[in-house]
Amino acid sequence: MNIEIINIPKVEDYRGNIAIVEKEVIPFEIKRVYYLYDVPSTAHRGGHAHKEQLELLIPLSGSFDVVLNDGKTKQTVTLNKPDKGLLIKTNIWRELENFSSGSVCLVLASDVFLEEDYIRDFDAFLDFVR
């Protein structure tokens, strides 16, 4: 599957850790940053794929599951460590679910919002990747 876990460098300190996101860690130029928060535990986010855009999802707080599908294989990745990010490359359907209370999901994206880059219908996604 066209995904990768990215280890985010951290500095550990008895006063609290610092995670460092620099251009050497991210395999793309960041053009957009957004975050999900106050997501009810029963809610589902995502429900789309990107044709060109890459995204790195980082769980700043709490945990959530990312259900991924490349048209052939389905895989669930649980994100629950703020020094581990999930890089989702092109043509991967994603759904986010099972948010714990207080979860925050930071998303670093390789492009600005472009509606034409989204595939929002799962059947259309399956047609696109075949």
Q: Which residues are catalytic?
A: 48
pLDDT of residue 105: 98
pTM: 0.94
Burial of 62 per CB tally in 10 Å (0-12, 13-18, 19+): middle
pLDDT in tens, the chain (130 residues): 899 999 999 999 999 999 999 988 999 999 999 999 999 999 999 999 999 999 999 999 999 999 999 999 999 999 999 999 999 999 999 999 999 999 999 999 999 999 999 999 999 999 999 8
Helix (H, G, I), strand (E, B) or coil at 2: coil
Q: In angstroms, rounded to a whole number, what is the distance separating the alpha carbons of residues 104 and 39? A: 8
pLDDT of residue 1: 85
Unique residue bearing structure tokens 């043509």: 91
Unique residue bearing structure tokens 């919002």: 113
Q: In angstroms, rounded to a whole number, what is the distance separating the alpha carbons of residues 130 and 83? A: 34
pLDDT of residue 95: 97
